[in-house]
Chains A and B, each alone.
Chain A
Amino acid sequence: MALQCRLSGATFQSLKLATIPISSSSSRFIFRTLPKTLNLALFSRHSAPKAPPFSVLIRTLSAPAVAAAPAAETSDIKVVKPQWNAAIDFKWIRDNKEAVAVNIKNRNSNANLELVLQLYDKMLNLQKEVERLRGERNNVANKMKGKLEPAERQKLIEEGKNLKEALTTLEEDLVKLRDELQIEAQCIPNLTHPDVPIGWEDSSKLRNMVGSPRKFDFPVKDHLQLGKELDLFDFDAAAEVSGSKFYYLKNEAVMLEMALVNWTLTEVMKRGFTPLTTPEIVRSSVVEKCGFQPRGENTQVYSIEDSDQCLIGTAEIPVGGIHMDSIVAESALPLKYVAFSHCFRTEAGAAGTATRGLYRVHQFSKVEMFILCRQEESDMYHEELIKIEEDLFSSLGLHFKILDMATGDLGAPAYRKFDVEAWMPGLERYGEISSASNCTDYQSRRLGIRYRPSESPSTTSKKGKTNVAATKFVHTLNATACAVPRMLVCLLENFQQEDGSVSIPHPLRPFMGGVEAIYPKSR
């Protein structure tokens, strides 16, 4: 789930792509060589509400981790080699450059389209040149097969040698150019659904609202106070043992977490999703391919020492990786997964009162939905996912609104994103509890997930001849079914009673051994 970071500090920080001010001039492309020193700030917003968060042009990044490459002999450009390549359709970008440019602007990304187009042109020309030289070299080779005067032969040998050297140089240049092009092009954000409002957070459009804020006839407590009085969590001990923004859940809160996870999994399974638990340590390349940024100053991602591994911030990552580098049969689609995992986020850069208690924590349990489908169907499944979320949260009796997030809030992978914000009476505002994104082919081009359309029977095909259709990239979608800490905030604050107890929503009671309420403990 790509959770949004709100200006008043309300929501989870978006696991969004980092923004780099890139210093590029003409055809030079200079990167610092170590991934860690790439100044990749995560797309985090903590500045004034009125203006866009960054005055510097920001680039939504999905650049691969780059490893230092040996410096080229022929130029002083230090080009770094991407560790993996997204399957970018450069020709399409060139043929649709106006639309791509508008999209980049709307998303306030500083992907450098001009540079991409230039590099692509250069690359095409260089390719032609390489092919021409190869042709010439073949000619020379062929000529040398016949009967020749020694002088002639010697000339041809010379020519052949010169061609070979020239070719080697050009081929090296071509590789470097390809790498440069790849890195630049991977910064280009996903396209945008035509209905998405253009602008920043305040431009996000309300899709619908469910329920209304409960009217209390007694003073409302926030979840921290309720947690203290009901002995449900301990932040102090956790601060000593682990650090701030860690916590222990105690007593009924443990059972409530288990009930929430269990109930959510059960409900989503009923709708045809395959349940999973996932690794919570993954290779950093997989994190990048999903569109997140493991390295960099304000990264949300914890890394493991002496390793290329990271902790996941969402199950979207290991689930996205299941079908990495493979071709699925069209008949297998859609693939619908509901995954339970713990999630870890550094929450770097997040501060302020809106980060108190369970609202912003480093570790939490989450149930995530993930769909891989045919290209034509992703809009439909996006609607299906948001409908499931609506059903889940209504069943629990929550009051919430669903927002169609504006272009400036999307983050590079998302074609369209719906956020659910639930009313939190103790915090006296709406807080994000869920997010549903349609990433179309952005992640699949990076993860390398294709499908082979089924053969269509053709009346003109010759007998015995099979038509193997070209593969297409799947579309991927992800949506939060249940982010436990935010749900705990909602349940505690909304269902508190005057006597200090908290009422358990009916759907959860069977999953908690029938417990109907959490009562203050006698001390």
Chain B
Amino acid sequence: MKGKLEPAERQKLIEEGKNLKEALTTLEEDLVKLRDELQIEAQCIPNLTHPDVPIGWEDSSKLRNMVGSPRKFDFPVKDHLQLGKELDLFDFDAAAEVSGSKFYYLKNEAVMLEMALVNWTLTEVMKRGFTPLTTPEIVRSSVVEKCGFQPRGENTQVYSIEDSDQCLIGTAEIPVGGIHMDSIVAESALPLKYVAFSHCFRTEAGAAGTATRGLYRVHQFSKVEMFILCRQEESDMYHEELIKIEEDLFSSLGLHFKILDMATGDLGAPAYRKFDVEAWMPGLERYGEISSASNCTDYQSRRLGIRYRPSESPSTTSKKGKTNVAATKFVHTLNATACAVPRMLVCLLENFQQEDGSVSIPHPLRPFMGGVEAIYPKSR
């Protein structure tokens, strides 16, 4: 229409232009809607799976290794609830009145033991080059979703704040994952290794039964979490590093446990591969999960928008002065529980109980508890 035209021709073109514009607007709207639909559907697709992961449900999970063996008791074994009562270590009844079921107060030596566990764990993991952090425990719900959790919905594990788009975190994995949201990190900065201490809140909706007694399943707990961001080629290696750290930590405390390579049906959408640690809990007479280490590859980073720019590689064919800016890649993220305090308390109390009713404190923790060697029954 820029050229010289007869009026009739011009009019015809104007008509054509208008029709095209309308058709285009409609199509562009359709395209947006289609993209949105595609996005929503595609985001449901779970992460890929490591080739060695067993296929199936829980009973298909594979034993990687076992450390130690169940202690042999020559006296009747008490469970952690009974020990807690006798040693005046927790109060579930008052908490039920004040807050509801599955809440608790820790008292006396249990308080010092929690602090010792957290302190010792942070110290040990820091020695291995992790940067210590404490994190917000209230986060925007979008961050929760980007990490692969589901804040809304019937059986959600996530507490939401009224009149707000904020939620309580169920794990420090979420606020730590969010630190480098929507950014490009230099390759030289990787790996980024964090060890974060936070309180965690979970609704435990849908959980019921005897396996939820006492400290085993609670709404609020303290946890030390490890989180790594790394180059794509290295995530398998760091997964092994994380599970090794966990193995070292739990062995140091004298626990007997097994490490499982979780089967496909048990992975959850973000995890490419997941190792669970289950420790022997003599009072409950079974193994209970105390830790989990997941390699999420690029599942979370694609949602959180965390990329890295590979360093320039010197090329003999590049022209003088021309810089090759490499395309960015998505980091891989991994997370692993260094210490989930209530489950650790169950393990320590039940495994190290003595015939006289006392509980012996594992040696590594004693310096962090002012040298206390055992918890003794209080005279009443």
Contact = CB atoms under 8 A, between A and B. Distances in A.
> Which of B118, B137, B201 has the most C-beta atoms of chain A within 10 angstroms of its own C-beta?
B137
B249 interface: no
Interface in A327-363: 340, 342, 344, 362-363
A39 interface: no
B70 interface: no
Contacts of B181: 237, 240-241
Contacts of B253: none
A283 B162 contact: no
A237 B178 contact: yes
15 contacts: A237-B181, A242-B139, A242-B140, A243-B166, A246-B136, A254-B132, A265-B111, A265-B112, A275-B108, A275-B112, A277-B111, A279-B104, A281-B220, A283-B98, A303-B163
Interface of B: 91, 94-95, 97-100, 103-108, 111-112, 114-115, 118-119, 122-123, 131-140, 143, 159-163, 166, 175, 178-182, 197, 199, 201, 219-220, 370
Contacts of A276: 105-107, 111
B133 A277 contact: no
A254 B197 contact: yes
B161 A302 contact: yes
B138 A303 contact: no
Nearest to A250: B133
A248 B133 contact: yes
Nearest to A365: B134
A262 B162 contact: no
A286 interface: yes
A451 to B, nearest CB: 17
B99 A304 contact: no
Contacts of B99: 279, 281-283, 286, 309, 318
Nearest to A323: B94
B138 A242 contact: yes
Nearest to B132: A254
B132 A251 contact: yes
A238 interface: yes
Given A242-B166, A254-B197, A279-B103, A318 B98 contact: yes
Given A257-B134, A318-B99, 11 more contacts: A240-B178, A241-B181, A242-B166, A265-B112, A277-B105, A281-B159, A302-B162, A303-B161, A322-B91, A324-B98, A363-B137
A261 interface: yes
Contacts of A257: 134
B119 A321 contact: no
Closest 9 CB pairs of A and B: A241-B178, A321-B98, A275-B111, A254-B132, A279-B103, A242-B136, A246-B136, A305-B160, A303-B162
Interface in A228-251: 234, 237-238, 240-243, 246-251
Given A254-B122, A265-B111, A309 B100 contact: yes
A108 to B, nearest CB: 30
A37 interface: no
Contact of A279 (B98, B163, B197): B98
A258 B201 CA distance: 21
A251 B131 contact: yes
Interface of A: 234, 237-238, 240-243, 246-251, 254-255, 257-258, 261-262, 265-266, 274-283, 286, 302-306, 309, 318, 321-325, 340, 342, 344, 362-363, 513
Contacts of B103: 279, 281
A249 B133 contact: yes
A51 B179 CA distance: 44
B376 to A, nearest CB: 16
B220 A241 contact: no
A304 B160 contact: yes
For chain A, what secondary structure do more than half of its interface residues adopt (helix, strand, loop), or is it mixed? mixed
A246 B98 contact: no
B179 A237 contact: yes
A279 B136 contact: no
Contacts of A342: 137, 199
A242 B175 contact: yes
B156 to A, nearest CB: 11
Contacts of B163: 303
Contacts of A250: 131-133
A258 B119 contact: yes
B132 A255 contact: yes
A319 B95 CA distance: 10
A323 B137 CA distance: 28
A304 B370 CA distance: 38
A241 B139 contact: yes
> Which of B118, B122, B166 has the most C-beta atoms of chain A within 10 angstroms of its own C-beta?
B166
Nearest to A513: B123
A171 B103 CA distance: 41
A282 B162 CA distance: 15
Nearest to A246: B136
B118 A258 contact: yes
A318 B220 CA distance: 14
Contacts of B199: 280, 342
B105 A363 contact: no
Contacts of B107: 274-276
A250 B134 CA distance: 7
A81 B135 CA distance: 41
Nearest to B219: A281
Nearest to A238: B136
A76 to B, nearest CB: 32
A286 B99 CA distance: 9
A251 B159 CA distance: 29
Nearest to B174: A241
A453 B254 CA distance: 49
B175 A248 contact: yes
Contacts of A363: 136-138
A254 B134 contact: yes
B169 to A, nearest CB: 9
A286 B103 CA distance: 15
A304 B137 contact: no
Contacts of B219: 279, 281
B135 A248 contact: yes
A237 B174 CA distance: 13
B11 to A, nearest CB: 54
Contacts of B122: 254-255, 258
B122 to A, nearest CB: 7
A255 B121 CA distance: 12
A254 B220 contact: no
